[in-house]
Amino acid sequence: MALKIKVYSTPACPHCKAAKNYFKSLGLPFKDVDVSKNPKEAEAMVKKTHQYGVPVIEIGNQVIVGFNRSKINRMLGVN
């Protein structure tokens, strides 16, 4: 079973775009959550991470704050 991927982002965030483009380049489906338009999801993100910055990436039950390609690769088992 593939891991569920969720990206908390905003439209103006260049690191968010990079993260989403990276998942697309790997052919991985992900849910994009625009926290600038969804206060409920923004609140959930802050509760989980205590961070207000984006991107916040959930892979399965793991959370990555920021676009950390090497951490993402390790979690996904990608080289």
pTM: 0.93
CATH class of the domain at 5-76? alpha beta
First to last CA, the chain: 19
Place of tokens 């489906």: 29
Tens digits of residue pLDDT in 28-77: 999 999 999 999 999 999 999 999 999 999 999 999 999 999 999 999 98
Alpha carbon dihedral 2, 45, 23, 71, in 10-degree steps, equals -80
Domains of the chain by residue range: 5-76
